[in-house]
Amino acid sequence: MPLLKDEALCLALRPFGKTSQMVVWLTARHGLVTTPVKGAQRPKGAFLGRCDVGYLCEVVLYARERGGVRNIRECTPLALRERLRGDWRAAVAADYACDLTLRTAQPGMANPALFRDLGELLETLPDCSPHEASLALLWFESRLLHAVGLGPDFTPCARCPATPRRLFSVEEGRFVCPHHPSRLRTPPTLTLHDDIPALHRHFLGRPLARLLAEARAADRRDDLGRPEPFPGVFGLRRFLGVFLSAHLDLPPGPRRTALDLLIS
């Protein structure tokens, strides 16, 4: 039977029988892949300790797919990222990012940008302070939306006068105004300050390491004394929470819990 070799990030493991597991991967060239790993928890099993959430592995898969599931032949860990297990806040952030990716990526559809960004996030999180980890998650959420083609359209209306605040339609993903009214009868809208679109574009144009270096150099705080390395970061956090729930049909609880734990 033909075989496929690919690099894969482990997103989730679920029990499958007494000693086996169902593993979900984000692969570099084949998108989201689910594999049953027989004997993964057997003491002398060939796959024991070979995969865990956040691992980067080289996997050899059978080409035949049945109901969205491929059988796995080999799994070789390339990066264990053991430091994620030594910092519970980094582990919380990594688990949320992997779960968000699992709910967003599509089987059989390669997304190199998403694969690269998730790998960069997982590699960087152990070196982040709690506030930097929450900033890294906002960076990842912004880039994930762009990678899957659901990013918000922050293009302002050319016919409207410049203003620091604009009305944004959440479901339509764009600004609304008298020249471009909403197509919905009662659209849920938000009033966004210019800082939020500007920061979102900044995240899309920066690798994570450079963004965190800029944040450390800024050393800014808001009126409440909270670290605010970039103007609009708290507004972007609220906006992304609403936007993700509306466009990806995600429950808000896991995201709120992860971000709250990072800065508690």
Q: With contact defined as beta carbons under 8 Å apart, do 116 and 185 qualify?
A: no
For residue 140, count CB atoms less than 10 angstroms from its CB and return exposed for 0-12, middle for 13-18, buried for 19 or more: buried
| pLDDT for position 53 | 93
- The more confident residue out of 224 and 135 is 135
- pLDDT tens digits, 189-211: 999 999 999 999 999 999 999 99
| pLDDT for position 49 | 79
In 143-159, which positions are buried (b, 16+ CB within 10 angstroms) versus exposed (e)?
A: bbbbbbeebbebeeeee
| Cα-based distances in Å from 58 to 25, 45, 102, 114, 262 | 11, 18, 19, 17, 31
For 85-262, CATH number? Answer: 1.20.1440.120
Q: What's the CATH class of domain 3-80? A: mainly beta
pTM of whole model > 0.85? yes
Residue 1 has pLDDT above 90, yes or no: no
**Residue boundaries of the structural domains of the chain:** 3-80, 85-262
| pLDDT for position 264 | 65
Cα–Cα distance measured from residue 20 to residue 39, given in angstroms and rounded to the nearest whole number: 5
- pLDDT tens digits, 7-37: 999 999 998 888 889 999 999 999 999 999 8
Rounded mean pLDDT of the chain? 91
Task: Copy the structure tokens of residue 51.
Answer: 């995969």
The set of residues, in sequence order, having a beta carbon less than 8 Å from that of 149 and lying 6+ positions away, is none
Question: What's the average model confidence in pLDDT over 155-180?
Answer: 93
